[in-house]
A and B are shown apart, each in its own frame.
Chain A
Amino acid sequence: MKILIDDALIDKLAKLSRIALTEDEKKLFKEQLNAVIDAFNIIDELDNQIKDIEPAFHPIEIADRFRDDIPEEYSWNPLEQNLNNENDYIKANRTVR
């Protein structure tokens, strides 16, 4: 699929990826990503061959597996490596302003 990554798309991708890219990084990535995506397009040559093919989400067949619904004790304290917490709760920033 022919696609050109422009400034607006880089900004959108940075936002979706939650990475505050610098202006230099945006410039560098725009150029490199266009080259990489251009190379990816070789797979379009197989469009006819894959029409009726099921996607392989894993290389081997994996069946869904469920463990018994029995609660297990954590052997460690999940707050041990956490910087922002209060009364056994993790504190985070608000999600909307």
Chain B
Amino acid sequence: MILLTIESFLERNQNLKREELDDIIARAKERSLLIDKEYDAFITLNDNLAVESKGILYGVAISVKDNICTKGLRTTAGSRILESYIPPFDATVIEKVKRAGGFIIGKTAMDEFGFGSFSINCAYKIPKNPNDKERVTGGSSGGAAAVTKAADFPHIAIAQSTGGSITAPAAFTGTVGITPTYGRVSRYGLIDYSNSMDKIGTIGKDVFDAALLLQIIQGYDPRDSTSIKLNEESYIDSMNKEIKGFKIAIPKEYYDYNYVDKRVADKIMDSLSKLEELGASFDIISMPMYKYAISAYYIVAISEASTNLARYSGLRYGLQKQLDSSLTFDEYASIIREQGFGEEAKRRIILGTFARMSGYRDAFYLKALKIRKLLIDDYKRVFSRYDAIITPSMPVIAPKIKDALSMEPLKVYGMDIMTVGPNFTGMPTISIPVARVEGMPIGMQIVGDHFNEAKIIRIARNLEKVLNYE
């Protein structure tokens, strides 16, 4: 079976006969089951595969990160506390995908509520990297990236990022991940982690796939008060334009061997020569604020997480018990939460409660928000002179699962050093695979100014064509 790219599949999908479509659906179902057996990439497979409309995505399988609500299909956010939760509604992005003719094959594995960089903080199974099953997929959208890498049928993944959860798994698996500008895609129906940073995005086998799905799910939504009214851009129309004259910034701090594996940094530097061949130029610049981003990011992320997760109290839905009249409400909720949350979720809730506590709020939470303003200003200064910033996607190649499981939390948080800057400040990014180290893929992260997705997709597409990564 020759694997068709989605780009070529779209040339014929509008003319598919009913039987051909049925074959495609049956095959996607069978292969998804095998991918799950092999890589533990799904939390829930969809038994009820249906194409609801004949749009652009007619016949394309879509997997959905498990923190995005799907009507009638279990949605756990990777947590035991939502083990039996069946949403009575579709998230806006799911409505859009269904209207475009895509069909939902299942809900993909993730760190509980998105709390992780490796997809090992899992209440269900830990997904395995299709490049090497002993290694992590990256997190928190690990299942999304694993399915994308392993799929041999037309498939694109809906993923989600708070601090790097699309870039990390895309880089570790050798797939393409787009994290849009904060506000570009509606968050209605997304299970909140950190609502000033959460962004729904896409992971595809190549730039075309990831850009196509973003084009479909983007747009203003009155049901999300933080979604932005914009002219909806066609990335597919603009991605093939040349990038002659583009100016790229290379922040030297992101290539410092103290923070990033020398082999990874050097490979990214090497691939910059390809940009020059395409007529772009680059300068080495300095972004000294970056070392504060990780602490400030985590303070805001855990503060927002601890309030967002307060709703899981065993009252309306999710994990509940028969009432015991000898308990107070607080005691009942404390038992439910002790049983329903995993270790990392508890750690972040406790930390976030601390950072917002009276007496500490100004020293941590408010200070971190002021630093976010400084960081935004820093990025804006760079983008007043450059079209994009390029860094490695991750500081290392995917670690072995057993090594990742024994890492101290602080070391794991440090893995986000490349991704928290743009995520904290809401800048769009795309991660594309550019080379391998020890046989494992490494990713290049291209960062653009707010709402400049078209530009970074164009750079990625041009690079992808000349890189011959595989």
A interface residue numbers (CB < 8 A to B): 1, 3, 5, 9-10, 13-22, 25, 29, 32-33, 35-37, 39-43, 45-47, 49-50, 53-60, 62, 64-65, 67, 75-78, 80-84, 90-97
Q: Main SS of the interface on chain A?
A: loop
- A32 to B413: give the CA distance in the assembly, Å: 12
Cβ A56 vs Cβ B337 within 8 A: no
Choose the segment among B14-22, B142-150, B343-351, B456-464 that binds chain A (4+ C-beta atoms closer than 8 Å): B343-351
How many B residues face the partner with a CB closer than 8 A? 76
B interface residue numbers (CB < 8 A to A): 84-86, 88-89, 181-183, 196-197, 222, 225-226, 228, 291-292, 295-296, 298-299, 306, 310, 313, 315-318, 320-325, 327-335, 337-338, 341, 343, 346-347, 349-351, 353-354, 357, 360, 363-364, 366-374, 376, 408-410, 413, 424-427, 450
Task: Output the least CB separation between A56 and chain B (Å).
Answer: 4
Residues in B whose Cβ lies below 8 Å from that of A80: 88
Task: Output the least CB separation between A41 and chain B (Å).
Answer: 8
Residues in A whose Cβ lies below 8 Å from that of B332: 92-93
Task: Output the least CB separation between B428 and chain A (Å).
Answer: 11
Cβ B328 vs Cβ A60 within 8 A: no
Known: A58-B182, A90-B316, A95-B330. A43 touches B295 (CB 8 A): yes
Closest to A54 in B: B373
- A46 to B310: give the CA distance in the assembly, Å: 31
- A64 to B225: give the CA distance in the assembly, Å: 8
Q: What are 20 A-to-B residue pairs whose CB atoms are below 8 Å?
A: A1-B360, A17-B349, A20-B337, A20-B338, A29-B350, A32-B347, A33-B350, A40-B298, A40-B299, A43-B296, A43-B299, A46-B371, A53-B370, A59-B182, A59-B196, A59-B197, A75-B89, A76-B88, A81-B86, A81-B317
Cβ A62 vs Cβ B321 within 8 A: no
- A57 to B369: give the CA distance in the assembly, Å: 6
- A40 to B354: give the CA distance in the assembly, Å: 12
Select one of B85, B329, B374, B409 contacting A50, CB under 8 A. Answer: B374
- A65 to B296: give the CA distance in the assembly, Å: 28
Select one of B88, B292, B349 contacting A45, CB under 8 A. Answer: B292
